[in-house]
Structure 1
């Protein structure tokens, strides 16, 4: 059975992870409270992703934190990763499901109402919605949707959702108020002097916000 927690979703960035490697950053973030790690590197190719991904899988063994590979299904399969995240211009989610099987996690990026209405919950496990804000870590992104746009797409998609796009610790409240199950961060952890402390700050804010909403 697939179980995952979208609360604090770390997207690794190779450019930002220069002082601390992606493996070091991931492990520090997990220690600080990250609940999912996504390997995203558009420059190293499939073989490079496999090499880094296997290092991550070895390091993360026993943490119960899933490793998701961005876009590259061949790498995800070779790594034995827990899942795959695809965008609108990547491999179709139906094809990904057929190749990965039922036990793997599949996430899909959503940037518009049209796409949100077309998501098949029998195929996709969660959606990544955004960008909430413009972000330099993904320069080819669609226009920012803000928190109102985030809330609207969450209602349409009707799937577990993680907000993404320029999010920091001070955005935890509005992200959860919009109905998201978590927030995905890149520079808020990657490239920080102390990735564990950065993750802990966000995780603590998430716990407080969830507690407040549960009252």
Structure 2
């Protein structure tokens, strides 16, 4: 099973105790990967959040990915880093984190997609599939056809992100994509555990059998 299948991206607006509850519940529900985000510049707060989530994930086999910050990932010995296009260059990040850790990159257009093929990555995050309230500065909406095209052009596993929810999930999974990344559908659910379990069930049902 792909570790990218149900990829939880945490909501950086939620406080630490809420974050921990959400991650615990989501992991119990079956998320396969967790990325911690911290949008402010407070590096200590980011490290605290990352450490707290790392403790929750201890012994679960669910990888911890740090958004944007290679230094935080190294400080807490996370399983990997997810970079945006304006973050540290991929080759430099790879040098710093070594070959064992996972390295993901957000891809926002066709040119970036093709350039990524020459980079030392493990996966790419295709952003954004659909418009979403959490991202106000979307460069491009890939849509289902864009996602299918990207899968043909990229040599890496693809995680689809942006505006994904139970109503459009089937269409996305039917493309054969490696995984989906979700924020609101899990973080803002009444029961993140139930939400994750339901999403996973939906993903398994819609996954193409080759």
CA distance in 2, matches of 1:59, 1:19: 12
RMSD: 1.8
After superposing the two structures, state which structure 1 stretch, 122-131 or 57-66, moved more: 122-131
Mapped pair 1:14 → 2:12: yes
Q: Distance in 2 between matches of 1:4 and 1:183?
A: 11
- Does residue 1:125 correspond to 2:122, yes or no? yes
For residue 73 of structure 1, the aligned residue among 60, 70, 73 is: 70
Cα gap change, 1:108 to 1:43, in 2 (>3 Å): same
The normalised TM-score by structure 1 is: 0.92
Contact 2:117 2:156 (C-alpha < 8 Å) held by counterparts: no
**In 1, Cα distance between equivalents of 2:50 and 2:171:** 32
Change (3 A) 1:199 1:121: farther
**Counterpart residue number, 2:54:** 57
Q: Which runs of no fewer than 5 residues in structure 2 stay unpaired?
A: none
Moved more, 22-31 or 3-12: 3-12
Q: Provide the residue aligned with 2:172 in structure 1.
A: 175
Structure 1 segments unaligned to the other structure (5+ residues): none
Does residue 1:37 correspond to 2:63, yes or no?
A: no
* Range that drifts further, 28-37 or 116-125: 116-125
Give the conservation status (yes or no) of the 8 Å contact 1:49–1:75. yes
2:92 to 95, 110, 116: 95
**Distance in structure 1 (CA, Å) of the matches to 2:90 and 2:196:** 30
Post-superposition Cα deviations, 1:95-141, rounded to whole Å, max 9, x if no partner, equal 11000000000001111111111114661000100201111112122
Q: Is the 8 A contact 2:9 2:34 kept in 1?
A: yes
1:199 deviates by 0.7
- 1:204 aligns with one of 195, 201, 205: 201
- The equivalent of 1:5 in structure 2 is 3
Deviation of residue 58 (structure 1)?
A: 1.1
CA distance in 2, matches of 1:165, 1:143: 11
**Following TM superposition, by how much is the alpha carbon of 1:69 offset from its aligned partner in structure 2, in angstroms?**
0.5
Query: How far is the alpha carbon of 1:44 from its aligned partner?
Result: 5.1
- When the two structures are superposed, what TM-score results if normalisation uses the length of structure 2? 0.94
Provide the C-alpha distance between the structure 2 equivalents of 1:190 and 1:53, rounded to a whole number of angstroms. Answer: 16
